[in-house]
């Protein structure tokens, strides 16, 4: 079956760095997405990786290893507004998005 695994909850300190991991098993693979979702709101797009390696976008970076079925989202210089759920989603061979359950990130002062 198809599966996405990511931690349920993480806690970090304002100004620090946090890495949220995601492993996936899908029927074929056409890329991996990270979305940010604040409570009661729709997800907003953060990143899309389809090739191996690290892509940096400001304070956020996303990494992909296709051979390992693994990705991470790295958040630097954490701010209180970064408290949210972070959703990992993989695109399978039929271009269906397979969603993880999300990682709730709690930022403490």
Partner 1 sequence: GAVVSQHPSWVICKSGTSVKIECRSLDFQATTMFWYRQFPKQSLMLMATSNEGSKATYEQGVEKDKFLINHASLTLSTLTVTSAHPEDSSFYICSARGGQGYEKLFFGSGTQLSVL
The 10 Å Cβ neighbour count of residue 12 is 18
Q: Which of 30, 3, 9 is nearest to 86 (CA)?
A: 9
Question: Within 50-109, which residues bind partner 1 (CB under 8 A)?
Answer: 87, 91, 95-97, 99-102, 104
**Contact region for partner 1 (CB under 8 A) — 21-29, 41-49, 59-67, 75-83?**
41-49
The beta strands (E) that lie in the chain are given as 3-5, 9-13, 18-25, 32-37, 44-49, 53-57, 60-65, 70-75, 84-91, 97-99, 103-108
Question: Within 1-30, which residues bind partner 1 (CB under 8 A)?
Answer: 30
Between 45 and 109, name the residue whose CB sits nearer to partner 1.
45
Total residues contacting partner 1 by CB under 8 A comes to 20
Residues lying near partner 1 in the complex (CB under 8 A) are found at: 30-31, 33, 40-45, 48, 87, 91, 95-97, 99-102, 104
């Amino acid at each position: 079956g198809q599966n996405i695994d990511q931690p349920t909850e993480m806690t970090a300190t304002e100004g620090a760095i946090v890495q949220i991991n995601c492993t996936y098993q899908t029927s074929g693979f056409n890329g991996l997405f990270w979305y940010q979702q604040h409570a009661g709101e729709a997800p907003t797009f953060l990143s899309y990786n389809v090739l191996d390696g690290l892509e940096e976008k400001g304070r956020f970076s996303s990494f992909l290893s296709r051979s390992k079925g693994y990705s991470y989202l790295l958040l630097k210089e954490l701010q209180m507004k970064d408290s949210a759920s972070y959703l990992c989603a993989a695109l399978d061979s039929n271009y269906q998005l397979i969603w993880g359950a999300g990682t709730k990130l709690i930022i403490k002062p």
